Amino acid sequence: MQTTISNETPTYAVPESTLVPVSDHLRQLTPIPPSRMFLINKSLVVYQERNPGSPIYDASQGDGGASLPGTPREILEQAAEMQLENGTAYGMPFGTNEFRKSVVEDYWKLDPEMGIGPGNVVGTAGGRDALVKAYRAMLALGHGREGDVLVVSRVPWISYNWGPYGVGANVMWAPGDPDQGWVYTEDSIRACIEYAAKTGRKVAGLVITCPDNPTGLTISPERQAQLAKAALEAGAAYVLFDWMYHFVTDEEPMDLNSFLGNFDSEERKRLMFLDGLTKSLGASNIRNCHLIAPEDVVKYIVAYASHSVMPSYYGLAVAMTAYRMGYKEASRSIVEPTNASRKVLKQFLEEKEMKYILGKGYYAFIHVGDWLKARGWAHSEPLGQYLAEDHGVAIVPGAFFSPFGGEWIRFSYATPSERTLGAAERLLEGLDALRSG
Same domain? For 202 and 277 the reply is yes
Q: Looking at the structure, do residues 142 and 261 belong to the same domain, yes or no?
A: yes
| Beta-carbon contacts of residue 78 (< 8 Å; ≥ 6 apart) | 317, 321
Predicted confidence band of residue 39 (pLDDT cuts 50, 70, 90): confident
Residue 26 lies in a domain: no
For residues 138 and 161, state if they share a domain.
Answer: yes
Same-domain check for residues 233 and 178: yes
Domain membership flag for residue 11: no
Q: Is 377 among the domain residues? A: yes
Write out the H or E segment, with its range, that includes residue 209.
Answer: strand 203-209
Predicted local confidence at residue 106, as pLDDT: 98
The angle that helices 221-234 and 186-198 make with each other, rounded to 10 degrees, is 30
Based on the domain organization, do 317 and 359 belong to the same domain? Answer: no
Helix-strand-coil percent breakdown of the chain, rounded to 5? 50, 15, 40
Amino acid making up residue 199: T
User: Is residue 2 pLDDT above 70, yes or no?
Assistant: no
Q: Quick one: which of 128, 104, 134 has its CA closest to 319? A: 104
Give 333: exposed, middle or buried? Use CB within 10 Å, 0-12, 13-18, 19+.
middle
- So what's the pLDDT on residue 277? 98
Q: Are 340 and 332 in contact (CB under 8 A)?
A: no
β pairing state of 203-209 and 238-242: parallel
Q: Are residues 308 and 347 in the same domain?
A: no
Q: Among 309, 329, 349, identify where a domain stops.
A: 329
Q: What is the DSSP letter of 408?
A: E
Total domains in the fold of the chain: 2
Which pLDDT does position 41 carry in this prediction? Answer: 79
CA triplet 381, 383, 387: central angle to 5 degrees? 140
Each residue of 103-162: pLDDT tens digit? 999 999 999 989 999 999 999 999 999 999 999 999 999 999 999 999 999 999 999 999
Query: Do 254 and 379 sit in the same domain of this protein?
Result: no
CATH code of the domain in which 173 resides: 3.40.640.10
Please check whether residue 179 lies inside any domain of the structure: yes
**49 located within any domain:** yes
pLDDT of amino acid 281: 98
Pairing status of strand 238-242 against strand 271-276: parallel
At 218-267, the pLDDT tens digits run 999 999 999 999 999 999 999 999 999 999 999 999 999 999 999 999 99
Can you give the residue range of the structural domain that contains 383?
Answer: 40-62+331-436
Domain assignment present for 261: yes
CA dihedral 210, 139, 36, 287 (to 10 degrees): 70
Burial of 230 (0-12, 13-18, 19+ CB in 10 A): buried
CATH number at residue 392: 3.90.1150.10
Residues 134 and 197 both lie in one domain? yes
Angle formed at CA 154 by CA 151 and CA 157, multiple of 5 degrees? 80
Is 67 contained in some domain?
no
Question: Does pLDDT of 400 surpass 90?
Answer: yes
Integer Cα distance of 54 and 26 in angstroms? 49
What are the start-end ranges of the E strands in 277-406?
Answer: 289-292, 356-358, 363-367, 393-394, 396-397
In angstroms, rounded to a whole number, what is the distance separating the alpha carbons of residues 307 and 326? Answer: 34
Sign of the CA dihedral with 188 first, then 192, 198, and 204 last: negative
- Please say which residue of 278, 302, 329 terminates a domain: 329
- For 100, residues 6+ apart whose C-beta sits below 8 A from its C-beta are 94, 118, 119, 121, 123
Residues 310 and 374 in one domain: no
In angstroms, the CA 279 to CA 244 distance is: 7
pLDDT at 372: 98
pTM: 0.96
Same-domain status, 320 and 423: no
| pLDDT for the residue numbered 61 | 85
Query: Does residue 241 share a domain with residue 341?
Result: no
pLDDT at 301: 98
Which of 300, 329, 358 lies at the terminal end of a domain, its last residue? 329
- 8 located within any domain: no
d(CA 33, CA 17): 35
Distance CA 430, CA 412 (A): 17
**In terms of domains, do 134 and 277 share one?**
yes
